[in-house]
Every structure is written in C-alpha cells, then in structure tokens.
Amino acid sequence: MKISIKYLRILVLLSILIIVIEAYKLLTSFRDPEKKEILKEDIPIFVNVRSFEMPLRIYFAEEEVPTQYFDVKESLDKELLRVAFWHSRTTLYMKRATRYFPIIEKILSENNIPDDFKYLAIAESGLDAQALSYKKAKGYWQFLKKTAEYYGLEVNKEVDERCDIEKSTKAACKYFKDAYRKFGTWSLVAASYNRGMGGINRQLKAQNVDDYYDLRLNTETSRYLFNIISLKLVISYPENFGFFIDEKDKYKPLPTYPIKINGGIKNLVKFAEKYSSNYKIIKRLNPWLRQKKLTNPKKKEYIIKIPRKGFRDCKKRNNE
C-alpha cells in the first residue's frame, strides 16, 4: 500500500512538471515572431468589430448636441459604443419599443413634450413595468414613492400606479413641464430627471454655467443624457449599427379592451375567469395591481385591461 502511494505521488509530480513545461512552451511561442505569424494565420475571425461614424449634426428634443467639442463627442461616443455593442439588451429594447412607444408618444404629444423623451423611459426602465432600482424607484419611469405621490400617482399595498404606463407617463410629463419652467432647456430637464432639480440647480450655480454640456456632474448623471441620445440613434437607425430585426419578431401592441370599476374585487382569480382570462394574464396586462384583491375603500374608478377574445386563450384545469 505504501509503494502504490509513493508511485502515485511521483506520477502527480511528473504530470505537474509536464503541464508547466507545455505552458512555458506556449508562452514563449508568442514571443517568437515566426511562431506568432503561424498562430495569427491559424486563428479564425469570428467577429468583425468596427467603430461607428457619428452623424455630423445630432439633436435631442430639437436642441443641437455640440459634438464639435471634444469632451461632448467623446462622451457620446462612449455611450454609443456601449448601446450598440450590448446586443442582447439593445435588441430587447427595440422589440419592446414597438409595443410601448405608441402609448408613450401619444401622451407626450398631448402634453407638448418632445418625442425624444420616450427614449428616457428606456434609459430608466428598459420599458419594464416591474423594474426596481436600488433606491426603490419603480415602474416605467422609475418614480420614487414620494415623487410619484407628488405627481398624483397612487402607491400602496394594493395599487402601484408607477407600473401603469398611461398614468405614469402622464405623471412624468408633469415633471418635465415643471423642470422646463425652471431650466428652460430640454437637456437640463432630462439631466434633472436623474439628478433631481435641486441637484442640477446647485451645480449650475456652483459652476457658474447655464448649459448641461458645460456641467461637470457625478458619473451617472454625466452619462445619462448621452445614453438617451445613443438609444435614440441606434433605435432610430438600427441597420446603421448592425441590428436587423424583422417586423414579425417585434413585440406588437396587446389587443385589450377596458373595464371600468369603482368598487372592490374580492378575488382577482375569479374576476379574471369571469372575462375568460386568468390571473397571470390580468396581472401581466395590469402590472399596477399588486395583490389578488382590490378593496378600493374610497370607491375610486379604475380601468382594468382585459384581453380580447381569441388573443390569449386560457386553459382551465380539469378537476374531474
């Protein structure tokens, strides 16, 4: 038994020695010009990576982005590369945009807010109703609870209107209007959505400037508007950045019809069955509903989206 263990140890040591020798040979081969050329020829090219030519003139909310300044151009270039090469995430955003942009665009237009602010919703949440930040901001527009309530959204144990795309977009428009009255430029409005009106105002005074592109800000806010502009460029001209998404692969608007209620719902499962749906789909279409019931003690009017007949058939469990 002792002999076998001894030989086993010798074999292990020899194996380690062989591995070390082979590793040394591999490393030294890269230093040999002739061998380096052989390796280069043998390695296939899997991906062609190229930089993107930036348009001569770029606008955000009809305000020209001063890319003639090196710092502005390089900041935008950094975010543009990030958006363009994060293929899985950006592709998902493009697919979701087909479903949610028509809703957001209509509300922005009705409130005289520039259409480009729809890209802010992507930067905030990726158009995910359940997106939640580490600061507990939630929903399509990432409202904090206190700010959401200030702009008229209901947030409690049963209802969270930050997750209602129509109501939260209208609340975001109220914020944009307030910020524009304060700052007078849409670039500062967008920046303030990330940093807060107070935070932006303090920095404008402290640095004695009046333009977003002249401000030195914290990392997140200094990247924020450039990220939004990059999303606009890539989503507006996807083929220019190597994205080819067939129309059939994009997420289409969901065919629903509204049901108005001004009372309570004791059981959302039973409520869904009443309309030939199920709990999962009703929650998916109405992410602002947080529980399996809605007490509604104040008899407030709510609108619940119901899937149209044939759009999403539900399988009932066989209890026989």
- How many C-beta atoms surround the C-beta of residue 287 within 10 A? 17
Domain 59-249 has CATH 1.10.530.10: yes
SS3 of 301, please?
coil
Q: How many helices (H) and strands (E) does the chain have?
A: 12, 4
8 against 235, higher pLDDT: 235
CB distance 122 to 231 below 8 Å: yes
- How many C-beta atoms surround the C-beta of residue 37 within 10 A? 10
What is residue 255's predicted lDDT score, i.e. its pLDDT? 95
Distance between CA atoms of residues 138 and 144, nearest Å: 7
Say what the pTM is: 0.83
Distance between CA atoms of residues 270 and 279, nearest Å: 8
CB distance 250 to 98 below 8 Å: yes
* Mean pLDDT across the chain: 90
What is residue 319's predicted lDDT score, i.e. its pLDDT? 52
The CA-based dihedral angle spanning residues 180, 151, 254, 277, taken in that order and rounded to the nearest 10 degrees: 180
Q: What is the mean pLDDT of residues 112-128?
A: 98
8 against 3, higher pLDDT: 8
CB distance 138 to 149 below 8 Å: no
Q: What is the mean pLDDT of residues 28-37?
A: 53
Residue 320 has pLDDT above 50, yes or no: no
Q: How confident is the model at residue 48 (pLDDT cuts 50, 70, 90)?
A: confident
285 against 43, higher pLDDT: 285
Tens digits of per-residue pLDDT, 258-289?
Answer: 999 999 999 999 999 999 999 999 999 999 99
Residue 45 has pLDDT above 70, yes or no: no
Tens digits of per-residue pLDDT, 67-109?
Answer: 999 999 999 999 999 999 999 999 999 999 999 999 999 999 9
List the Cα angle 70/54/44 in 5-degree steps: 110
What is residue 278's predicted lDDT score, i.e. its pLDDT? 94
Distance between CA atoms of residues 286 and 283, nearest Å: 5
Residue 303 has pLDDT above 90, yes or no: yes
- Reported in sequence order, the residue ranges of the chain that DSSP labels E, i.e. its strands, are 59-60, 63-64, 256-261, 302-307
Distance between CA atoms of residues 87 and 242, nearest Å: 9
Residue identified by tokens 């001063």 is 66
SS3 of 158, please?
coil
Kindly state the DSSP code that residue 94 receives in the 8-state scheme: H
Structure tokens at 270: 């039973």
Contact residues for 98 (Cβ-Cβ < 8 A; gap 6+): 250, 251, 252, 253
The radius of gyration computed from the CA coordinates of the chain, to the nearest angstrom, equals 28
Distance between CA atoms of residues 36 and 11, nearest Å: 33
What is residue 38's predicted lDDT score, i.e. its pLDDT? 45
CA distances from 200 to 137, 195, 204, 250 (A): 19, 6, 6, 37
Structure tokens at 103: 């809703």
What is residue 46's predicted lDDT score, i.e. its pLDDT? 56
Q: How many CA atoms lie within 13 A of 32 on its CB side?
A: 10
